Amino acid sequence: MKKIILICLALAIAFCFGFVFKTETSKEQNIINNLQKPTPMKLGAFSISLSVKDINASKQFYENLGFTVLGGDLKMNYLIMKNENALIGLFQGMFEGNILTFNPGWDENGKNSDPFDDVRKIQQHLQQSGIKLTSQADTKTTGPASITLTDPDGNVILIDQHR
């Protein structure tokens, strides 16, 4: 009987020791994994910039979908429209095709957000990752700047910092 109790006790101690050792190893592995994970870039507010034929017709259409004007100027042929967190830019005669747009330093209400990643830091990260940029920000400047790139499917991406 004493042998059975001693065997059970030994097994319990071995189990506990293994659990503690495994937990410590898991903690160490989590620290290593977290060090290896890149911190996601803070790209800011996201919107789609649409090249439209008739800004008034597009404005009416998106208002019927529940969007309201957040910014822009009809006389300058552009509007920024919002529905909850969704943003759409309407641009008449300014560019061809549609553009995925990010605004570092801004939230979806066009308000400053902090902290944010400067477009030049984003540019550096993208270049180090081997992503070809179609336009670049001047790294000797600060403040407003933009970069553009194209995804593998030909979609143009604009990262446009206004502050």
The tens digit of pLDDT for each residue in 130-150 reads: 999 999 999 999 999 999 999
Burial of 137 (0-12, 13-18, 19+ CB in 10 A): buried
The pTM of this model reads: 0.73
User: What residue numbers bound the domain in which 25 lies?
Assistant: 1-37
Give the count of domains, the chain: 2
Same structural domain, 31 and 79: no
> Model confidence at 3, in pLDDT bands (50, 70, 90)?
low
CATH number for the domain harbouring residue 71: 3.10.180.10
Could you tell me if 33 and 49 lie in one domain?
A: no
DSSP-based three-state secondary structure for 74: helix
Same domain, yes or no: 102 and 139: yes
